[in-house]
Structure 1
Amino acid sequence: MAVEERTTLHGRAVEQAALDALLEAAAAGRSGVLVVRGEPGIGKTALLEYARDRARGTHGTAVVTTTGIETEAEIPFASLHLLLHPVLDRVDSLPAPQAAALRAAFGTGPGSSDDQLMVGLAVLSLLSELAADAPLLCLVDDAHWLDHASARALLFAARRLQAEGIALVLGARTGFDPSGLPELRLTGLDPDSSARLLADRSPRLGPPLRRRIMEESAGNPLALLELARTDGDAHGPEPLALPHRIQQAYGARIAELSAGARTALLVAAAEDDGDLDAILRAAARLGAGPGALGEAERAGLVRVDAGRVRFVHPLMRGAVFRADSYEARPAAHRALADVLREQPDRRAWHLAAAATGPDEEVAAALERAADRALARHGHAGTAAALERSAALTGDPALRARRLAAAAQAAADAGLTPRAKSLAEAAGRDTADPRTRARLQALRARTAFADGDPGTAHDLLLGAADTMAGTAGESPGEARVAAGMMLVDAARNAWQLGDTARLRAAADRLATLRPRPEDGLGPAVAAVTGAAVFLEAGPALALPALRTLVADGRRNRSGAPALRVNAAFVAGLVGDFDAGREISAAVAADCRARGDLGWLPLAHLTLAASELYLGRFRDAEATAVEGLRAAADTGQPHRAGYLQGMLAWILAVRGDQAGSAELAARCHDHFDATGIANSLAWAEWALALADLGQGRFAEALDRLDAAQAGPVRRQIQSVYFAPDRVEAAARLARPADEPLAAFTEWADASGLAWADAVLHRCRALVEPDWATAHALFSRAVRRHAESGRPWEAARTRLLFGERLRRERHKTEARLQLAAALDTFERLGAVPWADRARAELRAAGATAPLPDRATDTLARLSPQELQIVRLAATGMTNREIAAQLFLSPKTVSYHLYRAFPKLNVSSRAQLAGLGLTD
């Protein structure tokens, strides 16, 4: 659209105000994101251009832009390269892993990371660098046509924008997934605004035609303008769908051009990068003269600027294709392929577009393009290239191999429906058992992603059987592949709490008879131990599982999957120090290597260990970061688990509303998937909230019901057994079953903290005061040996309550005061209030809490993480790389945290005891 046509925006005052606010915030150093969404022609591009003009004219803001291109949507990082191309000279200023990831993405360096989301962090850092001297406006038009890799990286960066002074605006059609980012949905103009727009742009329209255009356009600005350009006689009695009607109007304008101009337009529509030189050379091969493109520009159909050709609207591209004959399109693509011999990927796609049947030469070129895309971690582009390659492949076996590889790449890109359809197509073309086994495992992966872990488990068992049956050739490879399938099947069974399925996986693993060189030993031990745990109880299972944890603690360089598995098993045996150590090491390694895909699971096991150790603030910060990583990597099942833990922490703090909201999400997740681990946390959290408020009957009923359902197969049921004992004792109800369950586990664990809690449970149900006193005293001593302040404080509270009732007020005050001090430090408000009330009843002065003096409690989870890393001497850039933030955001949070901690410099942080 010409410049003079966008000087005035009619009927968009609200939308303009939203963009103004975004720009003003950026000028003040605050970042923001806005997704402008609507149908074609509704005015998205006009609003983005308004933001660009306002930024340059009013705020002195730098501007970078990119546009998604439909024919470029399968080339990984193509749109991102267009956005960052003007500033790639700054890549060397990024941290080395990020710079390497960005170079790999753009094909200028070797691959450096197994996870393309490291590119997203590089984008965040680079944009932050650009905003160092002045605010930055980043505009992304036609975001629905961004290639998958670019979109993922940009959305990753968008979710982390905080204090960089960056305004990011994305224009997209309805159907684009904004991933929870703020949206501005555009609708048609109101009648008055439509009338003003027509009066401004087409003042000579007669009233009847003006009314007809307003009625048929439904307030769509592009429809208003384009329909006003056509002859009134062209408006028949039947209304047409708007996009088709607009394209029809464009078609009429195209038909007025010379043959040469139409040819140049067709080549421009076929060219995926708007490359002016390539378009002119290809058009010349087809007979278009040097002035042909200029004619199209003068007609207002394209804009030529800085060596690029852009259509005035995406619908114009489609109109150009429809205006010419079918035979002309392959010719345009072949001409472009001829002039793009130095760009093999783009040339391969043009040759594919020109192909009309199987062509192995073109199919092989596309497969090579797929290999290059995979080297840049462009999984979506890899899948697209292989899928098109398969379509051009005549040999069924080769076609099946390419389809299977495309399905795998689509699954790696998170494109679950596409992966499923590609796997099914490959399965129809192959008889090779190993290929069929891998396709079945892939279908299991998509079933799990769809929320059906039961089906995923069953598919994996079948795939493992098929793979194991191919052991005649490369038996070690087949054995390892089958073993990993069975480990995944066992993990699904555990999450479901399905003992029979878990046993089936364990039995098949035993039948495989893996050898030491296979590296499956730890995984087999974990699966077998978990099956024994559910079937025969902890006495038989825990010894072998403890050995696995010890091995995981020693192995600091193993695969993340096996090390996280050891951390999870540490939770089964109650060795939370080992679980924390292993998980923290895995998380640090993942950050260093950019393996973001493993971070949610590492944070999950780390947060659980911190929670059980009574490190509630650490657990919250870890879980919040894990949730962010789960959103970035598309792992809703991990997110459900983390939300359950956060619900538990909020219940301890007395935030019943927040806890209930998160617990409700966990219930929804269970209803959709049947995965019981997040449900276990949710039920425990709700019961804990009841227990903290003295609602013992509600707490007991909830925990008993949980124990009778799928939660009984989760480890949380062991750990909330003492809560069931406490609630039952308060109500003078029998507690034999939960006491027996915890006794069995505690005796098998041999852990001091478990022994302490067990003695507390026995004391609660012991009617004889002398015996109860001895049991409580033993519990307090054992707690002193084992840490776990939360459990120790609860023991002291219950001991103090019993002492007061037995009229030993002096001794009661000692226990209650110690409990109160710990509860206050932990932020366990309901339990602190209980301890305070008991202290008063025991005759002690118990002043109201001054919780404002708890400096750490004033920090947000992110501030806590940042100040702890700063206290170790890390720079802002190092902290930013560690937490996947920008250095400016780190600086902002430190600026906010210093007054809360009563410090004025980083050097003072070291003396606050923030690290351990």
Structure 2
Amino acid sequence: MIDKAAPGTTVARLSGPAPGDTLPVGREAEIGRILQCVERGRDRPQSLVVLGETGTGKTQLVGVAVERAIRSGTRVLVAQGCETEMQQSFAALHQLVLPLLDELAWMPKRQRDALRGAFGLAPAIQPADPMAFRVAVLTLLRQATRTSPVLLAVDDIQSCDRDSLDVLLFVARRLSSEPVTVLLAARGEIPPPGVPADLAVLPLGPLAPQAAAQLLDAQPGAPTGGARLDLLQRAEGNPLAVIEMCRALRTDGAQPLSDDGRPQTSRIQQMFAAQLDALPAATQRALLYAAAASTHEELTTLMDALDAGGDLSVWSPAERAGLIAVTDRHVVFRHPLIRTAAFHREPVRARQQAHRDLAAALGEQPSRQAWHLAGAAIGPDESVAAALEATALLAQRRGGLYATVKALEQAARFSPCDDDRARRLAKALTAANDFGDPAWVRELYASFAAVNRDPELLGVAVCATGWALSLFSFQREAFSLLADAWEHHHPLDGTTATAMVAIAGGIAHQSGLEEHLRMLPGMLAQVTRTERAREPGTRTTELQCPHLAREDVAASLRAVVQAVRGPAAYASDLFKTLTSLPRPTDPRDLATLHRMVATGVVAYYADESDRCVDLLRQAFVPLRAAGAMGPTAHVLAVQVDVLLATGRWSEAEELIEEARSFSVVRGMTYAQLDLDALHVTLRALRGDSEPGVELTGPNWHSVSLDENRATLARMLRARGLAALARGDHESAFRHLRSLFADDGTPVHRLLSSRSVADLAAAAQRLGRQKEAAHVLAAVRQAEGRRPTTRITLLMHHAAALMDEDADTEKHFRLAVINPGADQWPMERGLARMNYAIWLRRKRRSLEAREQLATVIEAATRLGAHRLAAQAGAELRASGAAVAPETAAREAAAPLAELTAQQQQIVRLAANGLSNREIGEQLFLSPRTIGTHLYNVYPKLGISSRHQLRDVIERSLG
């Protein structure tokens, strides 16, 4: 394809994304590295080799670079290796320089003849001179750089003819000052033979789990639940495998997966048909057995199943073809789609025999043997079902929740009896809930509901399904499911009742709806009556987690529900009671971990923030190691929230990133939204004034915030703090005021009140104290006579800012002198800051300076650069001499207040680039660049573009 870059200039173009197209998912860092190379190549020679297996996205990334280069006015020359042309000398090089061959009139005759002869454009009069030809190509490219920079992009260099590659590398080594970028892409993990070892290499590994999940979810008809997790596991992070396996599931019709769980389609088989057909029959059979085995199956097991003894030569043809790698203990497929193709290209009878032979080879390992027995089975078989259930039990003991759910799901599928099927599905539901995949839970519940007749099992299943629906953000549906089962099928087992009411409490916290909160006391009372009526020695059913039978764990779960329903003072009493319980003997067993999580949540309600951090941190590590993200999913936001409040911002940021990944992979909708809101909150606390763009994605439009008021409260606070950070007090007041109803009642009983001081600060800046005063009154009423220390301090701070009838100084002093405020350093710092401003306006500069010095120290320790800069400016205004380190921070503060993208825009504009040129580099429109600059001028204290260079120089010292 030929594009016109400018009059008289012709460039070739690889197929790549046009402006505005979506960039490859999960390759942001790699794209940045490639584009940086291309950008640097506009000034001096650059070379980069992109390496990756089939389907990792090499061609797409090269296409992005080509598109970027074209848009920036670079002349682009492209070529692509072709296996059918590998024996033709200079075939690839001819593709590359073809657009330049009409411009040879200026060249010396000897070089021109060498070029024309080598490319068959003229008869060769004398034997070719290799050096003359190489120099001619080098001269041709140097001439092309006189009008614009040049990008040489060659894809699939492993399939280029050797002569072309030799010349291209000769040229790359001799470019010294020309603006040329050489971008090469090759299949494999190491560069092809002949590529110098000193060339920079960019390897494309598998996508991160979060990126692979995002890519899968972007496909039409993407699977959910167990099929989704299976696909992600089998695709091994390869983008092509994700796309093709998803397409296979769509084309296979109603049954999303084949019987053994592998997507099958003729398209995948055809991708590798030629390579597989070329192998000897014995090697094809060996690959079938390797494909039928698990990815971690030992080589000795495969050899036993094949009855091949110790002769490993059967694998050699596949190794030479690059399809597999054989290590000391395993056979590894080079590409996940090769495994799929090698398995499904064989007839069903051969696949069944492979499973039987593997089962026989694993006779002494029944847990692994069970999977192959299932693979060989045709219909319901109780022996297979029992073997899989035993496998699930072993996996659960080892902490493998994913394997547990899979084994139980398959055991239910092979169960001939509905009662056994329901029982096994109920166990699968519980395990899937612990694993933390709500879509999988819903799918299992649909199968369970179709066969179950046991009311006790229903209670177990409803617990898991209600939890899953809540994670999906469907709080009303989740609570209704629990309430209906509670009313019509009230569980006889006390542990089931305890679990149901605990989950109801978690849903009520998230929903924030009074209709849910009102039901909790009655449910708690009924649980108490059930516990009292239970005869001593009564055993729980096998489906119940044994830890629920422990009174200390059950008490902690009931305390969570009481804290959700009751006022903060009640939570404080509950926390004291829980911490007085006897210490468990094993601090890492499952029962203790659940007790720690529950106690941590009560501490959150009681504003025992430091204790909450310690408890949740201790519980989170072993639960995460076991893959049990279900029990922690509802408290992820709690943990991050408390880390932010107590000033542990780096730890909070790490947890946000980690939690974002598995919440995306496992489809935890509202957990993703909470994490987005908390990330914006963190940026705002640090002083990043970029608007909360993370709070405008598709998830936010698909979730009813009216029934997810905890998430709504976090979103409104995040937006309010972001607006305060950028100086938009009107927007800040609007968002923070929305945390309370028209009459001042908190929208969320717990979270709204914690923003009352932020609302007061925005109201004071706008002179709207009277509008916010009744909110403070409503908060006081809601908190009762014994509010927590934290809420007391926040209410004093708010009263000092907006209660005109109050003793302002008294409230300020009460907000800052309480030693308990040390738990919440940012809130205390803001109170000190506002107190210092009040003192300075009262001409009490010495007292103001004392407060400001403390604020600067605390803000610097936290990394709250905006607050530190504000305190430094106030300190200077009070007449104090500013310390050199403080002056340096203030000099850098204007830039530090900007986002990373805004800083980049400012630096490019300071270097003289136009809005259009900056936009081309950053993939933004000129209008967007202009808007960013318009917004940053006031923050930098300037009024025009030509002042930007001075700001940059000051920030550098």
TM-score bin, normalised by smaller chain: 0.5 to 0.7
**Matched residue SS, 2:692:** helix
Aligned position for 1:38: 55
Q: How many angstroms apart in 1 are the aligned matches of 2:316 and 2:867?
A: 79
Q: CA deviation at 1:705?
A: 2.4
- Counterparts of residues 707-786 of structure 1 (less than 5 Å): 707-708=740-741, 712-730=747-765, 731-734=767-770, 735-744=772-781, 748-749=785-786, 754-765=791-802, 772=807, 775-776=810-811, 778-779=813-814, 782-783=817-818, 786=821
**Matched residue SS, 2:383:** helix
Give a deviation string over 1:223-282, Cα, whole Å, max 9, x none: xxxxxxxxxxxxxxxxx974454577679768xx88x99877876765668877766766
Q: How many angstroms apart in 1 are the aligned matches of 2:55 and 2:376?
A: 33
**Which residue, 153, 167, 190 being the options, matches 1:51?**
190
- Relative to structure 2, which stretch is displaced further, 810-819 or 336-345? 810-819
**Matched residue SS, 2:415:** coil
Give a deviation string over 1:653-691, Cα, whole Å, max 9, x none: 32111x624555698388467533343233223323444
Q: Does 1:511 align with 2:526?
A: yes
Aligned position for 1:553: 579
Residue type at the aligned position of 2:762 = A
**Which residue, 428, 453, 462 being the options, matches 1:440?**
462
- TM-score normalized by structure 1? 0.58
Q: Does 1:461 align with 2:479?
A: no
Are the counterparts in 2 of residues 497 and 711 from structure 1 also a CA contact under 8 Å?
no
Q: Does 1:628 align with 2:661?
A: no
Give a deviation string over 1:550-587, Cα, whole Å, max 9, x none: 13334554733343333333343434344345445545
Taking only aligned residues, the RMSD between alpha carbons, in angstroms, comes to 5.6
Q: CA deviation at 1:648?
A: 2.6
Aligned position for 2:506: 491
Aligned position for 1:527: 561
Are the counterparts in 1 of residues 436 and 628 from structure 2 also a CA contact under 8 Å?
no
Aligned position for 1:798: 834
Aligned position for 2:249: none
Q: CA deviation at 1:482?
A: 1.6
Give a deviation string over 1:395-449, Cα, whole Å, max 9, x none: 2222332333344444444554444333322322221111222223332233234
Aligned position for 1:688: 721
Are the counterparts in 1 of residues 692 and 722 from structure 2 also a CA contact under 8 Å?
no
Q: CA deviation at 1:490?
A: 1.8
Shift in alpha-carbon separation, 1:746–1:51, aligned structure 2, 3 A: same
Q: CA deviation at 1:545?
A: 1.7
Q: How many angstroms apart in 2 are the aligned matches of 1:554 and 1:497?
A: 29
Are the counterparts in 1 of residues 359 and 373 from structure 2 also a CA contact under 8 Å?
yes
- Counterparts of residues 784-823 of structure 1 (less than 5 Å): 786-787=821-822, 788-809=824-845, 812-813=848-849, 815-816=851-852, 818-820=854-856, 822-823=858-859
Q: CA deviation at 1:761?
A: 3.7
- Counterparts of residues 549-698 of structure 1 (less than 5 Å): 549-555=575-581, 557=584, 559-586=592-619, 604-612=637-645, 615-616=646-647, 618-629=648-659, 631-632=661-662, 634=666, 637-638=670-671, 640-657=673-690, 660-664=692-696, 668=700, 671=703, 674-691=707-724, 695-698=728-731
**Which residue, 570, 589, 605 being the options, matches 1:544?**
570
Are the counterparts in 1 of residues 829 and 855 from structure 2 also a CA contact under 8 Å?
yes
Residue type at the aligned position of 1:450 = F
**Matched residue SS, 1:559:** helix
**Matched residue SS, 1:748:** coil
**Matched residue SS, 1:798:** helix
Q: CA deviation at 1:804?
A: 4.2
**Matched residue SS, 1:175:** helix
Q: CA deviation at 1:327?
A: 4.8
**Matched residue SS, 2:739:** helix
- Relative to structure 2, which stretch is displaced further, 552-561 or 493-502? 552-561
Q: How many angstroms apart in 2 are the aligned matches of 1:599 and 1:177?
A: 33
**Matched residue SS, 2:379:** coil
Residue type at the aligned position of 1:480 = T
Q: Does 1:427 align with 2:449?
A: yes
Give a deviation string over 1:829-878, Cα, whole Å, max 9, x none: 44444444444554444568637689xx9xx9xxxxxxxxxxxxxxxxxx
Residue type at the aligned position of 1:435 = L
Aligned position for 2:242: 175
Identity of aligned residues (%): 25
**Matched residue SS, 1:373:** helix
- TM-score normalized by structure 2? 0.56
Shift in alpha-carbon separation, 1:712–1:313, aligned structure 2, 3 A: closer
- Relative to structure 2, which stretch is displaced further, 826-835 or 308-317? 308-317
Residue type at the aligned position of 1:551 = T
Residue type at the aligned position of 1:349 = W
Q: How many angstroms apart in 2 are the aligned matches of 1:564 and 1:282?
A: 47
- Counterparts of residues 82-481 of structure 1 (less than 5 Å): 171=238, 173-175=240-242, 242-243=267-268, 245=270, 326-327=348-349, 329-331=351-353, 333-465=355-487, 468-469=490-491, 471=492, 478-481=493-496
Give a deviation string over 1:289-320, Cα, whole Å, max 9, x none: x9996999799799896687788987777777
Are the counterparts in 2 of residues 266 and 320 from structure 1 also a CA contact under 8 Å?
yes
Give a deviation string over 1:605-634, Cα, whole Å, max 9, x none: 45434543xx42x23423423541453474
Q: How many angstroms apart in 2 are the aligned matches of 1:759 and 1:409?
A: 47
Are the counterparts in 2 of residues 553 and 581 from structure 1 also a CA contact under 8 Å?
no
**Which residue, 816, 827, 850 being the options, matches 2:886?**
850
Give a deviation string over 1:502-539, Cα, whole Å, max 9, x none: 2223322222325487443343343234324xxxxxxx
- Counterparts of residues 877-892 of structure 1 (less than 5 Å): none
Q: How many angstroms apart in 2 are the aligned matches of 1:785 and 1:246?
A: 66
Counting matched residue pairs gives 656
Gaps of 5+ in 2: 1-13, 16-23, 35-49, 60-155, 160-185, 199-204, 207-225, 246-264, 533-549, 585-590, 897-957
Q: CA deviation at 1:740?
A: 0.5
Q: How many angstroms apart in 1 are the aligned matches of 2:470 and 2:158?
A: 39
Are the counterparts in 2 of residues 644 and 679 from structure 1 also a CA contact under 8 Å?
no
Are the counterparts in 2 of residues 666 and 678 from structure 1 also a CA contact under 8 Å?
no
Q: How many angstroms apart in 2 are the aligned matches of 1:503 and 1:44?
A: 69
Are the counterparts in 1 of residues 601 and 635 from structure 2 also a CA contact under 8 Å?
no
Higher relative contact order (CA 8 A, sep 6+): 1
Q: How many angstroms apart in 2 are the aligned matches of 1:386 and 1:293?
A: 36
Shift in alpha-carbon separation, 1:509–1:176, aligned structure 2, 3 A: farther
Q: CA deviation at 1:797?
A: 3.6
Q: How many angstroms apart in 2 are the aligned matches of 1:293 and 1:307?
A: 15
Q: CA deviation at 1:775?
A: 2.6
Shift in alpha-carbon separation, 1:642–1:282, aligned structure 2, 3 A: closer
Give a deviation string over 1:760-787, Cα, whole Å, max 9, x none: 444444557xx74653565367446754
Q: CA deviation at 1:821?
A: 5.1
Shift in alpha-carbon separation, 1:757–1:176, aligned structure 2, 3 A: same
More helix per residue: 1
Shift in alpha-carbon separation, 1:53–1:427, aligned structure 2, 3 A: farther
Are the counterparts in 1 of residues 436 and 630 from structure 2 also a CA contact under 8 Å?
no
